Structure 1
Amino acid sequence: MPESPAAAPESYSYLGPAGTFTEAALAQVPQAVGKTWRPVTNVGQALDDVIEGRSVAAMIAIENTVEGGVSASQDALATIPGLRIVGEYLVNVNFVLVARPGTALADVRVVSAHPVAYAQTHLWMDATLPDHEHLPATSNVAAAAGLFTSDLADAAIAPPTITQHHDVVVLAENIGDNPNAQTRFVLVSRVAELPAPTGSDKTSIIAELPDDTAGRLLEMLEQFATRGVNMSLLASRPIGDELGRYRFVIDLDGHVRDERVADALLGLKRFSPNVIFLGSYPRADRRAITVTERYDNDAFIDARDWLRGILSGEPE
């Protein structure tokens, strides 16, 4: 008889196999230490594990410094209900070009790589191997592992730690186009109690415009600007039902329990036909969020007390 999700051992899903940058992000999660880690082949599988109870949480890439938002993750979060982001983690990203023993750089014609990794190395690839072809892989580690199961690719783009997992030779190091590249990962779990504000928080949401009337995007952005809420991410993704219809993935500085953020979300809910709250969680960089005095919690509380006094007939 299959084991029920409640009886399954506590596990965490991540884009595998072992050695990926996603695994490196999961290694930063204290509560995952000593638990079962489930490698999967794509974001959808990782989130399905969470929804169906096979894992308590999944680590997925959400944004990187070169390509911006990871569309597969953003679209999955927009369409799979019942999920919450409970934490974010940053991983410095660098790559090496590897091959089977006996292969020289001059022999390389086809390179296997995860599309995101390829995008972060394409300038080096174009300059060094101008005639190469790209063979997409499901992960950076899978690209290297595939060298031993198929002869379709001559080399692979992989993390520097790949030599700890596979018997490959390194043809070139530091091939990333941006030496400061980072990937931002989020830990996604089922809907649960919100973590308490820390003073260094981020709130993630997805929202749609009510129609395509001129100025609608500005109206949406004003919900945040007039309340002193900074956006650290604003990305558009097609809704998919017809051309010209987009949803917006937004990260806000602050926690939903912060008065300014809560008030902005109330305004957004009145404006937007569909708002998805993805979570409030501690920032990976632990940078404190500062606001001017007119946007701090006391200012919003004082304004509400002032109005309450007017409505109750209290003398000013």
Structure 2
Amino acid sequence: MIVGVLGPAGSYSEKAAKKWAKKMEHTDVPVFNYYEDITDTFSAVVNKTVDYGVVPVENSIEGSVGITLDQLFENEITITSEIVVPIEHCLLSKGSLSDIKIILSHPQALAQCRNFLKTHFKNTELRTTGSTSHAATLATEFDEMAAIASRSSAEMYGLKILIPNIQDHNENYTRFLVIKSKYKTSNIKSIPTEHLYKTSIIVYLDQNRPGALYEILEEFAKKEINLTKIESRPSKKALGDYLFYIDFEGSIQDETIKSALDNLGRKVKMLKNLGSYPKDN
């Protein structure tokens, strides 16, 4: 089983993938292909270079990962699982605190540590990288470079943990999605039916019609379907034109869910079903 993740080794995406593989109790030991960015991971899934991909979709501090939402819309994929991973960012370096002139990390990690950086490194240059583990590899080159990355990255690349737990809130979690090509048969055994499921969809409304969004929400309310997330994202067609990303409890196999989606399909310009998958508890 080949799994695509953000690389290099030691990324939080890899951590999520390992947690997922253990949870699935798959007989094959996962082999990881590492990619520079989320777009490349999606491409590997769509082209079937990998069996599955693991991508970050939202963080408890910084919210949704925009590029992942865009790629979910633009590609023919299916979500097979979600994995929630606790995030502990550490300041890593070969040198000491007084040596640091440049701090590197993924844009999400830098944003999650915004207050820390403003307080302690206000005049320090910040540089973005494709992943936290990529930042860690770069920080091995010079004493004046530091990375915001995980403890495992420190161990993997021989860096010192100068300051642990530097995220702005201790309760920091990232939700990852496990995705596969829509046209690839899954070789993962099915989850027991008593497991709680979620379903993710994208809808495009007729936004020139008053009450269009209300009609969508009303459909879920009438059938007592619990929405866990609703978010707008620019359609990139015109200013003020949006797609809506909706997560809710339940599986497409449930008759209530099927009925709701059938009704929604008649009320919107476009409905894309991203899949039903076991909820990570």
TM-score relative to the length of structure 2? 0.91
Gaps of 5+ in 2: none
1:163 pairs with 2:159: no
Which residue pairs with 1:85 in the alignment? 79
Cα offset for 1:37?
1.1
Q: Out of 130, 133, 153, which is 1:138 matched to?
A: 130
Q: Distance in 2 between matches of 1:32 and 1:204?
A: 28
Which residue pairs with 1:217 in the alignment? 213
Cα offset for 1:19?
0.6
Check conservation: 1:227, 1:263, Cα contact below 8 A. Answer: no
Which residue pairs with 1:238 in the alignment? 234
Cα offset for 1:233?
1.0
Which residue pairs with 1:228 in the alignment? 224
Which residue pairs with 2:263 in the alignment? 267
Q: Mapping of 1:1-316 within 5 angstroms?
A: 10-28=1-19, 29=21, 30-31=25-26, 34-81=29-76, 83-100=77-94, 103-149=95-141, 154-191=145-182, 192=185, 197-285=193-281
Check conservation: 1:199, 1:254, Cα contact below 8 A. Answer: no
Check conservation: 1:209, 1:220, Cα contact below 8 A. Answer: no
Cα offset for 1:241?
1.4
Comparing 158-167 and 184-193, the one that deviates more: 184-193
Q: Distance in 2 between matches of 1:154 and 1:65?
A: 27
Q: Distance in 1 between matches of 2:49 and 2:195?
A: 33
TM-score relative to the length of structure 1? 0.81
| RMSD of aligned Cα (Å) | 1.9
Check conservation: 2:79, 2:177, Cα contact below 8 A. Answer: yes
Q: Distance in 1 between matches of 2:115 and 2:258?
A: 43
Please list every run of at least 4 consecutive aligned residues from structure 1 whose deviation after the TM superposition is greater than 3 angstroms. Answer: 148-151, 192-199
Q: What is the letter of the counterpart of residue 15 of structure 1? A: L
Q: 1:150 to 1:99 in 2, by over 3 A?
A: closer
Check conservation: 1:195, 1:281, Cα contact below 8 A. Answer: no
Q: What is the letter of the counterpart of residue 10 of structure 2? A: G
Q: What do the CA deviations read for 1:224-278 (whole angstroms, capped 9, x no partner)?
A: 1111111111111111111111101111111111222212111110111111100
Larger-gyration structure (1/2)? 1
Quote the sequence identity (%).
28
Q: What is the letter of the counterpart of residue 170 of structure 1? A: I
Q: Distance in 2 between matches of 1:31 and 1:84?
A: 19
Q: Distance in 1 between matches of 2:152 and 2:159?
A: 11
Q: Distance in 2 between matches of 1:133 and 1:32?
A: 46
Check conservation: 1:95, 1:159, Cα contact below 8 A. Answer: yes
Which residue pairs with 1:298 in the alignment? none
Secondary structure of the residue aligned to 2:213 is helix
Check conservation: 2:136, 2:154, Cα contact below 8 A. Answer: no
Gaps of 5+ in 1: 1-9, 286-316
Instruction: Give the number of aligned pairs.
Output: 272
Q: Distance in 2 between matches of 1:241 and 1:188?
A: 26
Q: Distance in 1 between matches of 2:66 and 2:199?
A: 19
Q: Please identify which structure carries the higher strand content.
A: 2
Check conservation: 2:83, 2:175, Cα contact below 8 A. Answer: yes
Q: Distance in 2 between matches of 1:27 and 1:233?
A: 26
Which residue pairs with 1:300 in the alignment? none
Q: Distance in 1 between matches of 2:246 and 2:27?
A: 27
Higher relative contact order (CA 8 A, sep 6+): 2
Q: Distance in 2 between matches of 1:236 and 1:150?
A: 42
